[in-house]
């Protein structure tokens, strides 16, 4: 087992900073009504390493802090971080590890069971691109990934296969719920918040009638502008 204390000091400092950041980001999930009880998780890659930090399994959100975050290798193995805690990593760890190994630009991953996005996943239905917000954030529809059993890297394989050629940072894993990716943990959390927001709006729109898709040419223009022009650079 890798021991954190045996790694270079600068990597130990990066691990510590990542644990603090990931612990803080977990607070965004209940704050945005994306999870209940102990469900869901955030992970973030430790920059410049083959390590990532993830939530411990089955621990309530009000009990999370930097010290309870679990450090793993991108092969999904927990490392000895020198803390007295014997907490096991999230049951989704193998899925996160697979994504990190196969999508080098991904620096953060989030999984939730947020109500509306999960409802689309239960119906095996993508969220259609009927909002300019979706064009901005997702570059089109939010796709559905395959059914996969938790516990090994099956979910990770489904995420990679579904998103490798998609502009969407979110996938609805069939009968399970949304997984989101980003350049870091914060970007993945934002995608998780946004996918639930658009799922809720589209579900309500469908009660009023048939939502009208945004034309592909407009989606392309909106996505390009939002990704390269919007905000501060």
Fold exhibited by the domain 4-128+141-208: L-fuculose-1-phosphate Aldolase (3.40.225)
Catalytic residue check, 80:
no
Give φ, ψ of 211 to 5 degrees: -60, 145
The whole-number pLDDT of residue 151 equals: 86
**What's the whole-model pTM score?**
0.97
For residues 134 and 219, what is the distance between their CA atoms, to the nearest angstrom? 8
Instruction: Give the per-residue SS3 of the chain.
Output: CCEHHHCCHHHHHHHHHHHHHHHHHHCHHHHCCCCCCCCCEEEEECCCCCEEEECECCCCHHHCCHHHCEEEECCCCECECCCCCCCCECCCHHHHHHHHHHCCCCCEEEECCCHHHHHHHHCCCCECCCCHHHHHHHCCCECEECCCCECECHHHHHHHHHHCCCCCCEEEECCCEEEEEECCHHHHHHHHHHHHHHHHHHHHHHHHCCCCCCCHHHHHHHHHHHHHCCCCC
Q: Are 72 and 4 in contact (CB under 8 A)?
A: no
Residues with Cβ within 8 Å of 177's Cβ and at least 6 positions away in sequence, in order, are 111, 112, 113, 114, 117, 118, 121
**Stretches in the chain below the pLDDT threshold 50:** none
The whole-number pLDDT of residue 190 equals: 98
Strand partners, 42: 110
Intra-chain end-to-end CA distance of the chain, in Å: 41
The whole-number pLDDT of residue 197 equals: 98
For residues 129 and 198, what is the distance between their CA atoms, to the nearest angstrom? 9
Q: Which of 136, 165, 220, 226 is catalytic?
A: 136
The whole-number pLDDT of residue 47 equals: 97
Cα–Cα–Cα angle for 42, 44, 45, rounded to 5 degrees? 155
For residues 159 and 180, what is the distance between their CA atoms, to the nearest angstrom? 9
The whole-number pLDDT of residue 85 equals: 66
Count other Cβ atoms within 10 Å, centred on residue 226.
Answer: 16
For 21-54, the pLDDT digits (tens) are 999 999 999 999 999 999 999 999 999 999 999 9
For 153-172, the pLDDT digits (tens) are 999 999 999 999 999 999 99
Q: Which of 75, 80, 152, 230 is catalytic?
A: 230
Catalytic residue check, 136:
yes
Sheet containing 170-173: order of strands: 70-73, 51-54, 41-45, 108-111, 177-182, 170-173, 144-145
Domain ranges of the chain: 4-128+141-208
């Amino acid at each position: 087992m890798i021991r954190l204390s045996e790694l270079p000091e600068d990597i130990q400092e990066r691990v510590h900073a990542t644990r603090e950041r990931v612990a803080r980001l977990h607070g965004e999930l209940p704050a945005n009504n994306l999870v209940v009880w102990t469900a869901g998780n955030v992970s973030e890659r430790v920059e410049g390493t083959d390590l990532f930090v993830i939530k411990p399994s089955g621990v309530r959100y009000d009990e999370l802090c930097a010290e309870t975050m679990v450090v793993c290798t991108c092969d999904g193995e927990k490392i000895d971080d020198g803390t007295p805690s014997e907490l096991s990593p999230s049951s989704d760890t193998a899925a996160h590890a697979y994504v990190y190994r196969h999508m080098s630009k991904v620096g953060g991953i989030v999984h939730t069971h947020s109500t509306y996005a999960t409802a689309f996943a239960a119906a095996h239905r993508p969220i259609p691109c009927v909002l300019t917000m979706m064009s901005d954030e997702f570059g089109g529809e939010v796709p559905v990934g395959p059914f996969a059993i938790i516990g090994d890297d099956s979910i990770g394989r489904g995420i990679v296969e579904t998103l490798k050629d998609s502009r969407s940072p979110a996938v609805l894993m069939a009968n399970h719920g949304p997984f989101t990716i980003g350049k870091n943990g914060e970007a993945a959390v934002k995608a998780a918040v946004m996918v639930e927001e658009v799922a809720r709006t589209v579900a309500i729109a469908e009660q009023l009638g048939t939502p009208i898709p945004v034309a592909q040419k407009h989606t392309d223009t909106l996505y390009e502008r939002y990704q390269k022009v919007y905000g501060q650079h």
